[in-house]
Copies of this chain bind each other. A is one copy, B any other.
Amino acid sequence: MKVAVVGVGVTKFGKLENKTSRELFAEAVDYALKDADMAPKDIESVYVGNFTADLFEHQGHLAPLMADYAGLRGLPSTRFESACASGAAALRHGILAILSGLYDIVLVGGVEKMTDLPTTEVTDALSIAADNLFEASVGATFPGEYAMIAKAHMDTYGTTREQLASVAVKNHHNGFLNPKAHFQKEIDVEKVLNAPLIAWPLGLYDCSPISDGAAALILAREDVARKYTDTPIHIVASSQASDTVSLFERDSLTSLKAAKIAAKTAYEMAGVSSKQINLAEVHDCFTIAEIIATEDLGFFQPGEGGPAAEQGLTQIDGDIAINPSGGLKAKGHPVGCTGVAQAVEVSIQLRGEAGKRQVSGAEIGLTHNIGGSGATAIIHIFRR
């Protein structure tokens, strides 16, 4: 696609007290500018992913605000909201803006500051990614929605709670290796199974946490990228599809149609097959979501995602490394930041700079960012 990642930055994820979204965003941008050895004046436009600072911070008009505090005052700055896929929506449109010929270099950032509200208010805020008329207003918030998806997957394929738990265990292990991750501790299957239930069959450790964080990417047109880095990471596919927001309107609950369509498009665009992907950062907002993601992306056949996770095939040294960063589950899930953070992780991995969590010999990586229960799916593929 003639666009490359030339700089990346990500803040620590977690409950970051006394920091506002603008401070987190500026910190991530600062890291990315340093990484690319660039000055703010090199940036031509700013793309911001954020789900709902409207509800989390009573703040909208986010793009010029973030740009200003990051030292990028005055630049064309736009905010993207695609629920939990807001970060990838910003990334996708940063890429398209370069492809349009309008810009050579753009900054893409994602940010969410979630922990200032009590948990029940956060769940309520997140529920606006569901259909307020037919889902949220009658109590169907996301833990319940993904619980229904998990139950359907269990009924159809015999997926077990132990298989779900193995996703959480792996991602906590990977997060333990990632200094920026929200959680820095290992857990075992027993701990997951014995944790308080949130919405059966999902327990506390099947759910991603409420996190604060920001991430930034600097994108450049291929022909200028080498001015800034010896290791440009080439973006070879960007695809997006959507589906009904309401679960009840779907034909199936055991896969996400939008993700399957976006995956097919992305593989065609990149000219690669699912077998060629070395690592993927996928949208594991709940453990079941990672299992379904690995099926929707063609890494495993439908119903084989659970056994594959349990057998360790998705570990960093497995057949395909899934969420080496720790994923949403352990790295954390500052919602509108996640899609950008996924791309940061894949870029770091493809550069070979991921330290203890490095996927050996990684050449091709993929990001899979989902909004809500699958009404938005955005996929990017990157090559070293």
Q: What is A's interface to B at a CB cutoff of 8 Å? A: 20, 45, 51-52, 54-55, 57-65, 67-68, 73-83, 89, 92-93, 95-97, 99-102, 128-133, 136, 239-245, 257-258, 261, 371-372, 375-376
Inter-chain contact B65/A131, CB cutoff 8 Å = yes
CA A57 to CA B261, docked complex, whole Å: 30
* Contact pick for A102, options B51, B80, B96, CB 8 Å: B96
Measured between beta carbons, the chain B residues less than 8 angstroms from A74 are: 241-243, 257-258, 261
Inter-chain contact A241/B76, CB cutoff 8 Å = yes
Measured between beta carbons, the chain B residues less than 8 angstroms from A80 are: 78-81
Measured between beta carbons, the chain B residues less than 8 angstroms from A54 are: 52, 54-55, 60, 128
Given known contacts A62-B81, A68-B245, what 4 new A-B pairs fall within 8 Å (CB)? A60-B128, A61-B375, A73-B244, A97-B100
Inter-chain contact B133/A20, CB cutoff 8 Å = yes
Q: How far is the CB of A186 from chain B (nearest CB, A)?
A: 34
CA A105 to CA B57, docked complex, whole Å: 36
Measured between beta carbons, the chain B residues less than 8 angstroms from A65 are: 131, 245, 375
CA A82 to CA B77, docked complex, whole Å: 8
CA A224 to CA B60, docked complex, whole Å: 37
Measured between beta carbons, the chain B residues less than 8 angstroms from A95 are: 100
Residue of B nearest to A103 (CB): B96
Measured between beta carbons, the chain B residues less than 8 angstroms from A243 are: 64, 73-74
CA A90 to CA B158, docked complex, whole Å: 44
Inter-chain contact A61/B128, CB cutoff 8 Å = yes
CA A100 to CA B241, docked complex, whole Å: 18
Measured between beta carbons, the chain B residues less than 8 angstroms from A102 are: 96, 99
Q: A97-B96, A102-B96, A261-B74 are in contact. Are A375 and B242 (CB under 8 A)?
A: no
Residue of B nearest to A53 (CB): B128
Inter-chain contact A79/B82, CB cutoff 8 Å = yes
Measured between beta carbons, the chain B residues less than 8 angstroms from A130 are: 61
Q: How far is the CB of A72 from chain B (nearest CB, A)?
A: 9
CA A130 to CA B100, docked complex, whole Å: 31
Inter-chain contact A376/B77, CB cutoff 8 Å = yes
Measured between beta carbons, the chain B residues less than 8 angstroms from A89 are: 78
Residue of B nearest to A238 (CB): B102
Residue of B nearest to A128 (CB): B60
CA A97 to CA B95, docked complex, whole Å: 10
CA A62 to CA B95, docked complex, whole Å: 22
Measured between beta carbons, the chain B residues less than 8 angstroms from A97 are: 93, 96, 100
What 7 A-B pairs have minimum CB-CB distances, sorted nearest first?
A76-B240, A99-B100, A60-B128, A64-B242, A54-B54, A61-B83, A64-B375
Measured between beta carbons, the chain B residues less than 8 angstroms from A371 are: 61, 64
* Contact pick for A245, options B55, B64, B100, B129, CB 8 Å: B64
Inter-chain contact A82/B100, CB cutoff 8 Å = no
Q: How far is the CB of A319 from chain B (nearest CB, A)?
A: 30
Residue of B nearest to A265 (CB): B76
* Contact pick for A81, options B79, B239, B376, CB 8 Å: B79
CA A97 to CA B78, docked complex, whole Å: 14
CA A257 to CA B240, docked complex, whole Å: 35
* Contact pick for A244, options B68, B132, B133, B136, CB 8 Å: B68
Measured between beta carbons, the chain B residues less than 8 angstroms from A96 are: 93, 96-97, 100, 102
CA A241 to CA B371, docked complex, whole Å: 29
Measured between beta carbons, the chain B residues less than 8 angstroms from A79 are: 80-82
CA A63 to CA B89, docked complex, whole Å: 11
Residue of B nearest to A22 (CB): B133
Measured between beta carbons, the chain B residues less than 8 angstroms from A241 are: 74-76
